[in-house]
């Protein structure tokens, strides 16, 4: 190998390594804005003298904002470049996270909305970046991304309550804290502006057809069901445990344990699933484990909560990682992955936000307990299992509508389509 070839190889490796690291750091920042609220939600409600309805809005608003930007994000990336849209989103995330702690309920809700919109854009685009830059390593990079998401969620759940106490019970400071790592992520992403990933204009016809594609809907519904479970746990898990007699710190520790386990399963399950080709069994098992873990929190003796936290973590981390991997595995190109991700994010975060955190809060308020919420969890998991049986098949989405998805062995042929 000549020195020039060696230099090019080294440069490609360095670029890939920096991109992978940037994906991990960005992933770390996509959950603290949500998971950091739950452990101190009771303190926020007391300080603002408000109740469960506002709590439901507070926990649901960012999730719905994730979905609002889904339809427009691929078009923005096509026009301005994926790298620039991600950078602008990270800047907005930093600002939104910071302004949550600068005033009362108005700025809190505004900041949550801005952060939610920013996170929603990055949610759509990162699977497409992985598809484009790491087409033969989708499982591994999705696992890295998912693990970083879970570590970020765990860090916020575990660190926010003690930091709040360290600043004399100021919940605002506990929320503003997470603007700092978001700003760091934006700086780390800056070198990506020197790149512009190629756009395949031949994929433009997929923009509308995906909404008529059965496989695309199966992937979307799987993600929607599991997202509903995950964000219900983010928002209401601490209060659920506290209502059963656990302390604030104890509930934060259980959330952190669950997120920590999610980081492990979120790495290994998509890695394993990508190698298997058919992911149906993994989809059903992870959805079932997610539900059983939450059932344990509701019905099992409180002393066994750590067992159910581990089970829930294995299920939710694995299911979420698998769901993200399915976007790349079921798409024939990076552009298709972006549009499939946009479709999935639109449906899963809007419907999931209403069927998840908001519905949980509403059912809990109406019934005054958690048994009714358990039924809701079972319905979410059931939808995920059924959708996973379709989404896990060895197929890729195609231009053709309804059930005309094509076998995965013909992925490369998509590039030759007129």
Residue 183 confidence class, pLDDT cut points 50, 70, 90:
very high
How many CB atoms sit inside 10 A of residue 280's CB? 17
pTM equals 0.75
- Asked if residue 48 is part of any domain, the answer here is yes
pLDDT of 416 higher than 90: no
Give 42-76 pLDDT, tens digit per residue.
788 888 777 777 777 777 778 788 888 888 888 89
pLDDT of 8 higher than 50: yes
CB 343 within 8 Å of CB 210: yes
- Asked if residue 314 is part of any domain, the answer here is yes
Q: 313 burial class (0-12, 13-18, 19+ CB within 10 angstroms)? A: buried
Taking alpha carbons only, the member of 19, 36, 54 closest to residue 96 is: 36
- Asked if residue 260 is part of any domain, the answer here is yes
Mean pLDDT of 177-206: 75
Q: Tokens 């259980």 correspond to what residue? A: 254
Mean pLDDT of 188-195: 86
Count of domains for the chain: 1
**pLDDT at position 228:** 87
Taking alpha carbons only, the member of 283, 316, 89, 74 closest to residue 192 is: 89
User: Residue 43 has which token pair?
Assistant: 């303190």
- Asked if residue 3 is part of any domain, the answer here is no
Q: What length is written for the chain?
A: 418
Give 295 or 160, the one with higher predicted confidence: 295
CATH number at 342 reads 1.20.1250.20
CB 113 within 8 Å of CB 62: yes
User: Residue 137 has which token pair?
Assistant: 């390593």
Alpha helices for 1-48 (secondary structure H): 3-28, 32-35, 41-48
Give 414 or 275, the one with higher predicted confidence: 275
Give the separation between CA 32 and CA 150, rounded to whole angstroms: 10
How many CB atoms sit inside 10 A of residue 43's CB? 16
Give the separation between CA 173 and CA 263, rounded to whole angstroms: 26
CB 353 within 8 Å of CB 143: no
Mean pLDDT of 1-9: 60
Give the separation between CA 360 and CA 376, rounded to whole angstroms: 8
CB 374 within 8 Å of CB 384: no
* Sequence-ordered list of residues with C-beta below 8 angstroms from that of 266, at least 6 positions apart, any chain: 143, 146, 147, 149, 150, 317, 318, 320, 321
**Partners of 213 in the beta sheet?**
402
- Asked if residue 385 is part of any domain, the answer here is yes
Tell me how far CA of residue 343 lies from CA of 185, 219, 351, in angstroms: 26, 10, 12
pLDDT of 375 higher than 70: yes
Mean pLDDT of 25-33: 92
Q: What angle do CA 111, 239, 26 make, to 5 degrees?
A: 40
- Asked if residue 9 is part of any domain, the answer here is no
Residue 196 confidence class, pLDDT cut points 50, 70, 90:
low
- Asked if residue 200 is part of any domain, the answer here is no
**pLDDT at position 418:** 40
Average pLDDT, the chain: 83
Domain assignment of residue 69, given as a range: 14-193+205-416
CB 119 within 8 Å of CB 62: yes
Mean pLDDT of 214-241: 88
Residue 411 confidence class, pLDDT cut points 50, 70, 90:
very low
Mean pLDDT of 276-300: 92
> Phi/psi at 247 (nearest 5 deg)?
-75, 165
Among the listed ranges 144-153, 336-345, 347-356, which one has the minimum average pLDDT value? Answer: 347-356
- Asked if residue 4 is part of any domain, the answer here is no
Among the listed ranges 40-44, 65-69, 216-220, 290-294, which one has the minimum average pLDDT value? Answer: 40-44
Among the listed ranges 21-25, 171-175, 306-310, which one has the minimum average pLDDT value? Answer: 171-175
**pLDDT at position 197:** 53
């Amino acid at each position: 190998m000549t020195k020039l070839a060696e230099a090019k190889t080294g440069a490609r490796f360095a670029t890939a390594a920096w991109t992978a690291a940037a994906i991990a750091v960005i992933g770390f920042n996509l959950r603290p804005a949500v998971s950091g609220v739950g452990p101190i939600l009771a303190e926020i409600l007391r300080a603002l003298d408000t109740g469960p309805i506002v709590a439901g809005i507070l926990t649901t608003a960012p999730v719905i904002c994730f979905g609002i930007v889904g339809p427009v994000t691929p078009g923005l990336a096509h026009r301005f470049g994926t790298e620039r849209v991600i950078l602008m989103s990270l800047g907005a995330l930093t600002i939104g996270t910071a302004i949550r702690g600068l005033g009362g309920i108005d700025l809190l809700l505004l900041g949550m909305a801005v952060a939610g919109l920013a996170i929603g854009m990055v949610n759509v685009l990162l699977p497409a970046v992985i598809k484009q830059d790491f087409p033969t390593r989708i499982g591994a990079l999705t696992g890295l991304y998912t693990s970083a998401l879970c570590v970020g969620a765990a860090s916020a759940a575990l660190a926010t309550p003690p930091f709040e106490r360290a600043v004399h019970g100021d919940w605002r400071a506990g929320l503003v804290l997470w603007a700092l790592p978001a700003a760091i992520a934006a700086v780390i992403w800056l070198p990506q502006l020197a790149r512009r990933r190629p756009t395949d204009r031949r994929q433009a016809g997929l923009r509308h057809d995906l909404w008529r594609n059965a496989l695309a809907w199966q992937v979307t519904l799987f993600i929607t069901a599991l997202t509903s479970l995950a964000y219900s746990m983010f928002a209401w898990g601490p209060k659920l445990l506290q209502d059963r007699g656990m302390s604030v710190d104890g509930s934060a520790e259980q959330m952190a344990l669950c997120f920590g386990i999610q980081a492990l399963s979120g790495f290994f399950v998509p890695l394993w699933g990508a190698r298997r080709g058919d992911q149906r069994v993994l989809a059903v098992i992870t959805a079932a484990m997610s539900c059983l873990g939450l059932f344990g929190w509701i019905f099992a003796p409180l002393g066994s909560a750590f067992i159910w936290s581990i089970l829930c973590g294995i299920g939710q981390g694995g299911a979420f990682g698998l769901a993200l991997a399915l976007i790349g595995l079921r798409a024939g190109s990076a552009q298709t992955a972006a549009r499939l991700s946009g479709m999935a994010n639109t449906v899963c975060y809007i419907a999931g936000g209403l069927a998840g955190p908001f519905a949980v809060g509403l059912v809990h308020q109406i019934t005054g307990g958690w048994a009714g919420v358990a039924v809701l969890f079972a319905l979410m998991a059931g939808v995920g299992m059924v959708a996973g049986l379709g989404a896990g098949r060895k197929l890729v989405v195609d231009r053709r509508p309804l059930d005309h998805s094509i076998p995965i062995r013909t992925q490369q042929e998509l590039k030759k389509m007129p």
